[in-house]
Structure 1
């Protein structure tokens, strides 16, 4: 490695031998440029184009891997940058090869469907990164794998507080991530499954039903299979939610990252035909603080309204209280003695409760549900998009909202999230 100054910027050059990795983190308020000078390299399954500069913004963490050797250049000041010989990429490639073999078996007609894989593990072990890599490798072979995003805290497909499904036709963009054309998104309303585990499991079952229907109608989707990303909650009710998801999607492969205890428990509790694999996490994975997670959620919501690096221009407009119907899924817990006869506390978690607009609604994110009204199955209805309440005028009966599209809203039923976003632009 050598350091140099070029046009007033810090420049680092790295020469990587085969099966080596360059890991770096971007300093606050200091974007970093990555360039492949020669050879071949990839970032999370996406190949780099030679002599093209890729920009990584504040707080970004990335790993550039090469199978054959390459030369790389970083322009700007990285908070951390180093090369590593010990990487789990060969393990990950072997998993991809095994999944691809299952797809080929299905495409020949020897099996009805391709692999349904679920990636599990505790917080901060690289689950989302592995899912992105496996989806990217499948897309590079012409597969149309379905990415199922069940991480309601840090999802890669839709804003926080939602579960989603996306058909992946090409590897994720190095800078921007997956192309989010026509994702199927469902409302949950919180960043932690434990806030309403009954609702979480209900939406997971809905996702599984929709995916099964897609496979029945689309042979290519059935053969390509799905890859499921999960939360880092793997104890207690979180573990039972993983079992529920595995059963709902009828998974045949579970990849456990960096926790032998979870691996052992899953082998004990799931049928023998489910292949459960224990893999190491990457040495470049770092623990994320609560502040970093909160900032990441804010960035994800901001990007939804303003686009990647501010490419969009959202709209602000007023809505009359009488023109919209606002609800929240899940009634507050009440003593068992006060529940109606025959009603359990769990049923209360799925109750659709009307909300009267007030100042406490300011800065809340609202999902625009595709349900026509409370008489529909609101819990299992997908959402068309999201708005943020920026002001409430109770005297005039008006809500001011920030929306990615101009009025009118596609539907008038709005669901409140326990997520706030303050628009500082």
Structure 2
């Protein structure tokens, strides 16, 4: 009877169950990178048993378990490393590229020690700006340089993020400047937790935030450059008042060059506003377009920085990602602002407010005909317009709370500092009420708010 179909196969159970507590051992030879992709629906933990391993310049402590979710990153073996990992994915590493030589390490070391010499030779630290196209490793390079700067000396570099799509110490849509005074959290794509979080295992950071609010710079280039200028003024004041940060210098992360204007006037304005004295352009040496772009950038900005324009090859270990992954990082940043992460649980507070008690403004989106009008030259591109409260306009929207009064003029609202963020969870047209999630208990502040282009649905 054993020849009948199905009798012998019935005893074979498909291997579809993955034991999340099963430990796997991985050995990383010295000088190699382990490329890891952890999807949003998966989890992974890593524990270094022996050796020295880093994630973007931050060393992993031995025999401490680090947890990761929805993040693409690399583990660099400074010396031979033996680690164990657990996870819901049986093979989290990038197939075919599990272990690759870290060809960028020497370039990053040389750049770091060059910046150290600049800090030792003058009281005004280096103001280095990283530029390049998308997915060449600009943010990873900035993070590594920040980590190396604080590793051996008591420096506090000012990290400046000028890419509103990056969620670093804040929800998306912001430009930020953050003094890096302690190690960065290797478990979080947003680099760590800000002062809005509760008690944290690592020292929380206190960023200076300026709201851009839109997703793409081209939606309102004038507003973006105005926001950059406002942030540069705050950075200049902070450097003037804090000698340690001034000595440590600034590390500036920029948007992809494709998002700036073709004649590079935006780039020149940023250089002038932040008094940049060193520019690193990251690009693919084997890409003709990148090389042609380097020549164009070189001709444009050499009058401002002279020979202090360096070219760095595309970083080894850059993991190709898509817009879906970047959207998920933005959603995670919004969720972590209100609810915390796996290490720190937060409890937001829900309030109900009447239509007439809520004043919301929004910037003009020049790429939206219904918002900007037919002739973009006939409008004030920095002007704010009041939002008509409807479910379609603000449902699930992230809004920015400002320090300006509820009845303040639009220009005062635009120039106002950021108090925090709130999330619109429900709009009830029948009762004319809006339910809003705020980070702390209490009444909704008596202030004006700014609508961002970002949405979050729980």
Give deviations 1:214-257, integer Å, cap 9, x for gaps.
Answer: 11111111111111111124366274322221221110111111
Q: Does 1:264 align with 2:264?
A: no
Within-5 A mapping of 1:196-235: 196-234=220-258
Query: What pairs up with 1:81-100 in 2 under 5 angstroms?
Result: 81=94, 82-100=98-116
User: Secondary structure of 1:392's match?
Assistant: strand
CA contact (8 A) 1:260 1:278 kept: no
1:276 offset after TM fit, Å?
1.3
Structural RMSD (CA): 2.3
Q: 2:448 — aligned with what?
A: 413
- 1:25-424 → structure 2 map (5 Å cutoff): 25-27=37-39, 29-57=41-69, 59-76=70-87, 77-81=90-94, 82-107=98-123, 113-140=124-151, 141-176=153-188, 177-180=191-194, 181-234=205-258, 237=261, 239-258=264-283, 259-270=290-301, 271=303, 273-274=305-306, 275-309=308-342, 311-330=345-364, 332-336=371-375, 344-345=377-378, 348-360=380-392, 361-372=394-405, 373-374=408-409, 377-423=412-458
In 2, distance between residues paired with 1:365 and 1:6? 37
Gap runs ≥5 in structure 2 = 1-16, 195-204, 284-289, 366-370
Scaled by the length of structure 1, what TM-score is found? 0.89
How many residues align? The count is 406
Larger displacement relative to structure 2 (24-33 or 413-422): 24-33
C-alpha distance in 2, partners of 1:104/1:288?
38
Distance 1:114 1:198, change over 3 A: same
Q: Following the alignment from structure 1 to structure 2, what is the Cα–Cα distance between the partners of residues 283 and 390?
A: 42
Q: Is the 8 A contact 1:314 1:402 kept in 2?
A: yes
Change (3 A) 1:85 1:103: same
Cα drift, residue 410 of structure 1: 4.2
Tell me, yes or no, if the aligned pair for 1:137 and 1:171 is still in contact at 8 Å.
Answer: no
CA distance in structure 2 between the aligned counterparts of 1:376 and 1:9, rounded to whole angstroms: 56
> How far apart in 1 are the matches of 2:265 and 2:295?
14
CA distance in 2, matches of 1:246, 1:97: 23
Whether the 8 Å CA contact 2:400–2:422 is kept in 1: the answer is yes
CA distance, structure 2, for counterparts of residue 28 and residue 375 of structure 1: 39
- CA drift of 1:171 comes to 2.1
How big is each residue's C-alpha offset from its partner over 1:381-425, in whole Å with a ceiling of 9 and x where there is no partner? 2211111111223443321111111233445101111221112xx
How many Å apart are 1:375 and its aligned residue?
5.8
Any idea what SS the aligned residue of 1:367 has? strand
* C-alpha separation in 1, matches of 2:236 and 2:399: 28
- Maintained 8 Å contact 1:21/1:65: yes
Q: Does the C-alpha gap of structure 1 residues 94 and 319 become closer, same or farther in structure 2, counting only changes over 3 Å?
A: same
Paired residues of 2:212 and 2:223 also in contact (CA < 8 A): yes
Cα distance change on mapping 1:179 and 1:102 into 2, 3 Å: farther
Aligned to 1:110: none
Per-residue CA distance 1:136-157 (angstroms, 9 max, x = gap): 1112221111111111112212
SS in 1 for 2:93: strand
Larger mean CA deviation between 182-191 and 369-378 belongs to: 369-378
SS in 1 for 2:213: coil
Deviates more, 1:21-30 or 1:152-161: 21-30
Q: CA–CA distance in 1 between the matches of 2:28 and 2:411?
A: 57
Deviates more, 1:12-21 or 1:240-249: 12-21
Distance of aligned partners of 1:136 and 1:288 in 2 relative to their CA distance in 1, 3 Å threshold: same
Cα offset for 1:190? 1.5
